[in-house]
Structures are given as C-alpha cells and as structure tokens.
Structure 1
C-alpha cells in the first residue's frame, strides 16, 4: 500500500489497516488518531510532526526509522520494535509500551514516558543519562550495557530489571525496589542505594565503590566478586560470575536463569541455562506466570502469544532480546493450526532476525497444551 492510499481511505472514515507494508515511507504532519495498524511494517521510515493518539500499533515494526515531534498519547505499542531508530521529542504519555524494543536506538531524547506503561521494555545499549526514571513502574525492563550515568530512580519499581554491564555511576536509587534485578558487572561508583530493596538482586562482579548504602541490606543480595563501598572485593577467593553449577568439566560454567515473570518449565528445574555464550531456554507452554495455570484453553493464537511472552520474559532476564534468538523448535498437536500459530509467532521477530525454525507434530503436550516452544539464543 502507498501512503496516499491509506491517507485517502482514512479521510473517508476507514480505520482498520492491520499488517500493511509501509516500509521506507515518509510521513509528515498527519493526524492518524485511533487508527488500527497492528503488525504493520514501517521499517526505515521517516515520521515528523505526526499524531498517533489512541492508535493500535501492537507488534508494529519501526526498526531503523526516524521520529521527530511525534505523539503516541494513549497508543497501544505493545511489543512494537524501535530497534536502531532515532527518537526526538516523543510523547508516550499513557501509552502501553509493554514489551516494546528500543535497543540500540541512535537517539532517545526529550521523550515523555513518565505516564506510560513500561513493563518488560528493552532499552539495551542506549545513552539514557538525561532521562528521569523516578517513581516509574519498570518491572522486567532491560538496560543491558546502557549508559545511565547520574540518572534518578528514586522510589522506582525496578523489580527483575536487567542492568547487566550498565553504567550507573552516580545514579540515585534511594528507596527504589531492586528485588531480583540483574546488576552483574554494572558500574555503580558513588551511586545512592539508600534504603533500596535488594532481595535476590545480583551484584556479582559489580563496582560498588563509594556507594551510599545507608540502611541497605546487602545480605539479601548476591555480591560475590563485587567491589564493595570500602573498595574491597567481596570473597575474592571464590569469585565467579556464575549463578548455577558447573557443566562439562572445569572449563565450562553454567549460569541458570529463573525469573518470576515467566512460569516454571513443566519439564525442567530451570527456565534457561547459559553455557559458552548460548542461552538454552526450556520448552514453554501457555501457563500464566501469575497464577501458574493454563488460561488460554484451546485457542492456538492465544496460547502462542502467552508462550512467546513467557519466552520474552526469560530472554529479558538473561539480558538479551528477540533479535538474539537463533533457532526455535515448535511442538504442536495439530499441524493444521500452523498458519494461525505462525501469525502470532512471527510477529515477535523482524524480517531480518527470523530464527531458524523446526516444527514437530506430537500426540500430546503437558497440561494438554496445543503448542510448546523451546529456543536457543546468543548472549
């Protein structure tokens, strides 16, 4: 579809344009409020002075695009892909950014996210030192290798967030929730962790030199190999950036991944394991992690979406995103449902990053599920 055709049909009152291919297009000065563009491809496009208020932009691909003075107020951007995009003066107020991917954006400046839903968002490898994160609910977000120098996280919910290898020097986490957060090898020099909640947080190999940790309990966290506020390395003789046991002898170490944002695997004691820079994720079925029961009944599309969301949470806990998945194995009890399953499955990847896939027919799956997916990703 050409942009002018969409604009003409929109002007006539049409609002539903799901899955359209509008890659490599230019958009300037248009108001497309309340439009339905779910799953549309806008990769490598240019947006200036645009309005997408209350729009359905779920699973849209904006990879490599440029945005300037764009409003997404109350828009649904669930699982939208902004990887390697350029964002300047963007209003995400009250938008749903759950699962959105902003990894490796060229620019992320003057963006209003304070009132947005921001759970499980990927902010990997960005320069976000100018963003104020205080009082936000960022549970499950990933900031892997992100520059967050001097940022304010006062009373922010960072439960299960991934800050592995992030630059958090002089950051303020006063009274923040860091329960279950991954801060392995993060730089936290002179950060303020006063009254922060650190239960099950991992500071393995992190630099905590001169950190203000008044009324903070490190005993609830993992701090093996961390440089403590006094400059001493905690337990240097046993230092190892590994959570789990050893595998394959002394030269190979296994790091086990378990997160509350995904259910336990029905066939494995751990959700995933990292060995030799590969992440092996145990087969997932459509179990809701909050209730630990199947909620999707027999609908294959709903089951697939729940399975993929579970895998996404495990990837985030491992410090990576969907672009790192290299191969998947899909088990189905009815291969005639493959097209419907794939319509959901493929929406989690971009065309450039579709993994190798094998689909296998089976007679039965745990909990009478209709689909189970396991995958391998790189770190």
Structure 2
C-alpha cells in the first residue's frame, strides 16, 4: 500500500488498516483521526504535522519515523515501537503508550505528554528535554540515561521507575511521586522537588546541587558526602541526619531542623542557617566560613546573636 491508496481509502470512510505496509511513505500533514493502524509498519515514514488523534496504534512500528509536530493526543499505543523516532513538538497529551511501548532513543524534546499513561514504557536514552509530562503516569517506566532537562513533571507518577543516570537538570518535579524510584547516578542539579515523595527511592551518587527540597520527607536517606551545594532546604527536617562530609556550600538551611545531625567535616561555607536548630549537632571540622547563623540555636542550646558575637 502507498500513501495515495491509504488516503483515498480513508477519505472513503475506511478506518481499519491493520498490518498495512507503509514504510518510508510521506503523509505529512494528513488528517487520519481515529484510524486503526494496529501492527502497521511505518518504519522511516514522514508523518510530520499529521493528525492522528485517538488513533489505535497497538503494536504499530514507527521506528525512525518523522513525527515532528504530529497530533497524537488520546492515541492508544500499547506495545508501539517509536524507537529512534523524531517526536519533537508532538502532542501526545492523554495518550496511552503503556505495556512495554518502546520509545528508546526517541526525540521528544518539547513534546506535550501531559496526562499520558506511559506506565512501563521504555524511554532509555530518549530526549525529553523541555517536554511537558505534568500529571503523566510513568510508573515502572525505564528512563535510564534519558535527558529530562527542564522537563515539566509536576504531579507526575514515577513510582518504581528506573531513572538511573538520567538527567533532570532544572526539571520541575514538584509534587511528583518518586516512591521506590531508582535515581542512582541521576543529575538533579537545579531541579524542583518541592513536596515530591521520595519514600524508598534510591539516590546514591545523585547530583543535588541547587535542588529545591521544600517540604520533602528525607527520612531514611543517607546524605553523607553528597553534593547539595546551593540547594534550597529551607525549613527541612534533617534531625539525626547523616550529613558527614556533605557539601552544603551556599545552601539555604534557614529554619531547618538539624537537631542531632552529623555535620562532621561538612562544607557549610556561605550557607544560610538563620533560625536553624543545631541542638546537639556534631560539628567537628565543619567549614563555617561566611555562614549566616542569625537566630540559630547552636549545638550547646544557646541562641546565636550576631550583635553580641565576638569580632575577628
């Protein structure tokens, strides 16, 4: 079947094109809404700017296809193959691409995947930079080595997802569900994790420089030796937390609860510790150069008062 035959039959009212062989065809800009392309082969095809809203794409092969700016909102694509496809700027809002759909090495930069069901999908090494994944279901998805820089994941569900070695630089992960997620080796520099759930997540060797962790429950996490420079931990509950040799240079710890925390040899240079509670904290070898301790409760229980402190 060629492009002309497909379009002609669609215009005549036919909607089912299961197992059609259409590799390499050019149907850019075509309106194929609600078409059934189950098990069809579109390898290397050009469907850029096409309209495939609510299409059935179960087991469809779009490997290396051009789908830039394509409207795929509301599609059903279980087991779909989009590996190496170019989906930059595509609209996949509300799509269902779960059950082992393959988007490995795909380009989804700037794509809209808000509210999509992507559970169990394979995004290994995919480019999702600047994409909108707000409210998307990514539970159990494989995002290993994926690029999610500046991606909007507000309220997304990433529970039990594999995000090891993924890049989330400056990504919006506020309110995201990251329970039991594997974030080993991930780059979260500058990401917003405010109110995110990290219960049971793996965060070994994670770059948290400049990350926002407002109202995040860090119970059970060993943060020793980690890079939290410039991180925003305002009001954080870090009681009894292991922060030994942790870099907190320039971090915002205003009002943080550090009672009994292990800060031995931590780097707090230039950090904001206003009104922080350091009662019984272990501070041997801490770098405290240029830190602000105004109103902080010191390890001995005394409140630090800059106006009465000794001058150098």
- Aligned residue among 149, 157, 175 for 1:104: 175
Q: Is 1:113 matched up with 2:183?
A: yes
Question: Match for 1:182 among 242, 247, 252?
Answer: 252
Q: Deviations over 1:181-235 (max 9, x none)?
A: 0111112222111110111011111121221212224454111111112222211
Structure 2 Cα separation of the partners of residues 130 and 170 of structure 1: 18
Helix, strand or coil for the counterpart of 2:62? helix
User: What's the TM-score, normalizing by structure 1?
Assistant: 0.58
What is the match of residue 233 of structure 1? 303
Q: Report whether the alignment pairs 1:170 with 2:246.
A: no
Name 2:153's counterpart in structure 1. 82
Structure 1 match to 2:62: 10
Query: Aligned pair in 2 of structure 1 residues 77, 51: CA closer, same or farther (>3 Å)?
Result: same
Cα displacement (A) at 1:137: 2.4
Q: Would you say the 8 A contact 1:134–1:154 is kept in 2?
A: no
- Asked whether the equivalents of residues 69 and 89 of structure 1 are also in contact (C-alpha less than 8 Å), the reply is yes
1:60 aligned residue: 131
Distance 1:33 1:94 in 2: 15
Map 1:1-379 → 2, pairs under 5 A: 1-2=52-53, 4=56, 8=60, 10-11=62-63, 13-14=65-66, 15-29=85-99, 30-105=101-176, 107-128=177-198, 130-235=200-305
Unaligned runs of 5+ in 2: 1-51, 67-84
SS at the partner of 1:69?
coil
Higher-helix-fraction structure: 1
Larger RCO (CA under 8 A, 6+ residues apart): 1
Secondary structure of 2:161's counterpart equals strand
- Which residue number in structure 1 is paired with residue 47 of structure 2? none
Residue 25 of structure 1: CA displacement? 2.1
Corresponding position of 1:301 = none
Q: Structure 2: how far apart are the matches of 1:10 and 1:148?
A: 41
For structure 1, the residue ranges without an aligned partner over 5 or more in a row are: 239-379
Whole-angstrom distance in 2 between the partners of 1:90 and 1:32: 15
More strand by share: 1
Q: What is the Cα deviation at residue 180 of structure 1?
A: 0.4
Give a deviation string over 1:137-178, Cα, whole Å, max 9, x none.
221111122221342111111111110122222221110111
Instruction: Please identify, of 75-84 and 113-122, the stretch whose mean Cα deviation from structure 2 is larger.
Output: 113-122
Asked if structure 2 preserves the Cα contact closer than 8 Å seen for 1:61 and 1:82, the reply is yes
Conserved? CA contact 2:231–2:250, under 8 Å: yes
C-alpha separation between the residues in 1 aligned to 2:143 and 2:260? 36
| Cα contact 2:129–2:151 (8 A) shared by 1 | yes
Alpha-carbon contact 1:27-1:47 (below 8 Å) kept = yes
- Contact residue 189 and residue 209 of structure 1 kept, 8 A: yes
Confirm or deny: 8 A CA contact 2:254 2:274 kept in the other structure.
Answer: yes
On the 8 A contact 2:267/2:288 being kept in 1, the answer is no
- Whole-Å Cα distance in 1 between the matches of residues 279 and 179 of structure 2? 29
CA distance in 2, matches of 1:139, 1:37: 26
1:96-144 CA deviation, whole Å, 9 max, x = no partner? 2111111112x21111112222211111122335445454322111112
Q: Partner of 1:66: helix, strand, or coil? A: coil
- Give every structure 1 segment of 4 or more consecutive aligned residues whose post-TM-superposition deviation is greater than 6 Å: none
CA drift at 1:5: 5.4
Greater Rg over alpha carbons, structure: 2
